[in-house]
Amino acid sequence: MASQVNSHLPLPPILLTCTKALAIVRIGIGAASFFAPQLTCACHGYHVLEPYSLLVRMMGHREAINGGLLLTAEDKEAKDGGRKSIRRALLVGLLADSLDICAVVYGFSRGEVESTTAGILGSAAAGAITLATFILRALSGKLVEQAIIVDEIEGNRLSGEAPGPWSKQVPGEPPPWSSDELE
């Protein structure tokens, strides 16, 4: 498995940057929901009365805790560099965001949420899911392997060589790869 093969390598900087960005967004949304629940909800087109601010605060600190978990998941001392901890924190976030989408759809279907609010909240959850999925794929090594293969093909195409020892290019024949496969 690729994750076992690459687990001894340090985590790529772009992966750490994406992970930290997602964590900071979660912490920011959580803190805003905790300290200014009515303002935070109003920014999303969802108006909450004062007595219901407590529920928003409760959801906010959970989001901030999830962000903190993700932010502190990297462990340079661990054999895998913290991949397992990062993966676990991302999966918790994926579950929370998936349930958020379910809640938005349910609320919208019952007329409890306007379409603009549903769109904003659903899109935010979908964006977090997309970024977390990208990071999980990168942690598994699949994106790294694909990038190496594409880089090798692109580099060799520019030099006119076949893309590595695994190529079965026959002299005089077109190469076994095409630009359509890379796009």
Give the C-alpha separation, 145 to 135, whole Å. Answer: 14
Name the least confident of 7-16, 32-41, 119-128: 7-16
DSSP letter at 79 equals: T
Query: What number of CA atoms fall less than 13 Å from residue 81's CA on the CB side?
Result: 15
* Shared-domain flag, residues 132 and 160: no
User: Residue 30 in contact with residue 63, Cβ under 8 Å?
Assistant: yes
* Shared-domain flag, residues 17 and 93: yes
* Shared-domain flag, residues 152 and 130: no
* Shared-domain flag, residues 114 and 161: no
Please check whether residue 77 lies inside any domain of the structure: yes
Q: What is the total count of domains within the chain?
A: 2
Instruction: Note down the domain range covering 111.
Output: 10-140
Give the C-alpha separation, 72 to 106, whole Å. Answer: 33
pLDDT digits (tens, 9 = 90+) for 160-179: 555 554 455 556 666 555 55
Give the C-alpha separation, 117 to 101, whole Å. Answer: 12
Handedness of CA 131, 94, 105, 62 (dihedral sign): negative
Please check whether residue 2 lies inside any domain of the structure: no
Q: Which helix (H) or strand (E) holds 147?
A: helix 142-159
pLDDT digits (tens, 9 = 90+) for 115-141: 999 999 999 999 999 999 999 998 887
